[in-house]
Amino acid sequence: MSGVPRVLSIAGSDPSGGAGIQADLKSIAANGGYGMAAITALTAQNTQGVRGVHVPPASFLREQLDAVSDDVAINAVKIGMLGTVEVVGVVRAWLEAVRPPLVVLDPVMVATSGDRLLDAEAEQALRDLVRLCDLVTPNIPELAIIAAEPAAESWPEVLEQAARVSASYGVRVLAKGGHLSGAEAPDALVDARSGNAGVVTEFDGIRIETSNTHGTGCSLSSALATRIAAGGEWAAAVGESKRWLSESIRAGASLQVGGGRGPISHFAGLWERGGVEPALTAAEVREQWWAQIASVRAEIDGGDFVRALGDGSLDRGDFVWYLAQDALYLRDYARALAEAARLAPTAAEQAFWASSAEGCIVTELQLHESWSVAGELFAASPSAITTEYLNHLLATAARGDYAVLAAALLPCFWVYHDVGSRLHPLAHAEHPYADWLTTYADDAFTDATEQAITIVTALAADATPPVRDAMLTAFVASTEHEREFFAAAHGVSSS
């Protein structure tokens, strides 16, 4: 199927959160599905045991089931605790009416203590329900009850019994070896339905020494329903679900929940690999990054160079020195822009960076030359500040990370446009630097700046947190170099 599997759990409630529908919903979500729940029973329990059970009227369970299926296209159903003949009958009638495409049954029939949870009549009703299922996931005592045989005592006996159940009931069986003694805890997907020659796919497992096993059966069956509904091949879905469960069991103790058999940590892998930081939109990146450099921007605005440039009092020698350094900077900045064009994944981004590189060489350098006496610009040597800024850009380009490079290039658009936009109203016919004040606030540079911001913030929004952090670091570093670049030009001619 395409899209997110919609999985309905029909099971009891565990207020401590480790088993029942609470575990099912966590498992479904952790394995990529959208979970729903119809509650068969309310329990008063915790990690140390069950204190009480309340079974609502079976008719109300049917109302829950109909309410979901009347509105939602269900891709899979996981069935857990049913408890009474009446409840089993309601679920059976609903399955026959709705015919969901996948049904996984975790037959809750035996307590951890070994006590039978169902009377003989309810056990028979549950056996009959097995015939409507695609997969049943019993532990060894439950497999024996379904088979109406003594419990298997060895793994080969478990496989033989699972094959008999599969053939008799026309259902796949996930045979589980967790109740056997020893270090190994194997599982097997057994398919001996009509037309199959007893296909057995075994999965090795090592017993995990932990007390955090509350709800493992619920969690595994829900994971299987989700992954199979997603279109996974059966054996592959079992293997993936087992790996997920093992990871969750190993992390269970870190939750520190309860004093008895604690729950597993359903989202341990997701938390470790993906974290819990919410995704950012491009607009949020734009706002956050601009705020991040607020203090640097304030220092640029309050600096002597920008102030004197704005009111026209800047010494011409300082301005020419600045232009010369900027010309030297633009030549290598154009190289970094060209590298961004080479690395860019889309034609639109390639075109933008390439045209910006051309603009540096053709338009801006020509403009710089028009403001100076012939030979003044390129006769100069790069200052330490200019060299540091270019080293930062060229080293970033050499590392080959397109997103980080784009972030490093952005301040030369964004900061310049910001300064130019606020200085532009100060321009007038007699202003000695009116052309400069006009250039960085004109429509063409405004459009280019907006394109650069759009590209970079979209890259940051789509990036992993480590890449986004690296982008922000490069962006802030370039902004700080811009501040130093402006500051270095003031007072040069008098020094």
Residue 231 annotated as catalytic: no
- Cα separations in angstroms, 356 against 138, 330, 458, 460: 65, 11, 19, 20
Residue 210 annotated as catalytic: no
Residue 176 annotated as catalytic: yes
Residue 412 annotated as catalytic: no
Catalytic residue among 47, 137, 213, 457: 213
C-alpha 46/C-alpha 48 separation (Å) is 5
Catalytic residue among 20, 215, 232, 310: 215
Catalytic residue among 18, 35, 133, 218: 218
In SS3 terms, the chain reads as: CCCCCEEEEEEEECCCCCCHHHHHHHHHHHCCCEEEEEEEEEEEEECCEEEEEECCCHHHHHHHHHHHHCCCCCCEEEECCCCCHHHHHHHHHHHHHHCCCCEEECCCCECCCCCECCCHHHHHHHHHHHCCCCEECCCHHHHHHHHCCCCCCCHHHHHHHHHHHHHHHCCEEEEECCCCCCCECCEEEEECCCCCCCEEEEECCECCCCCCCECHHHHHHHHHHHHHHCCCCHHHHHHHHHHHHHHHHHCHHHHCCCCCCCECCCCHHHHHHHCCCCCCCHHHHHHHHHHHCHHHHHHHHCCHHHHHHHHCCCCHHHHHHHHHHHHHHHHHHHHHHHHHHHHCCCHHHHHHHHHHHHHHHHHHHHHHHHCCCCCCCCCCCCCHHHHHHHHHHHHHHHHCCHHHHHHHHCHHHHHHHHHHHHHHHHCCCCCCCHHHHHHCCCHHHHHHHHHHHHHHHHHHHHCCHHHHHHHHHHHHHHHHHHHHHHHHHCCCCCC
C-alpha 28/C-alpha 219 separation (Å) is 8
CB atoms under 10 Å from CB of 131, counted, come to 11
C-alpha 316/C-alpha 320 separation (Å) is 6
Nearest to 81 by CA among 100, 48, 105: 105
C-alpha 136/C-alpha 126 separation (Å) is 11
Helix 384-399 vs helix 465-489: crossing angle, to nearest 10? 160
Catalytic residue among 176, 386, 396, 449: 176
Catalytic residue among 216, 449, 457, 479: 216
Residue 49 annotated as catalytic: no
Spell out the residues 6+ positions from residue 156 whose beta carbon is closer than 8 angstroms to its own: none
Residue 242 annotated as catalytic: no
Active-site residue set:
176, 213, 215-218
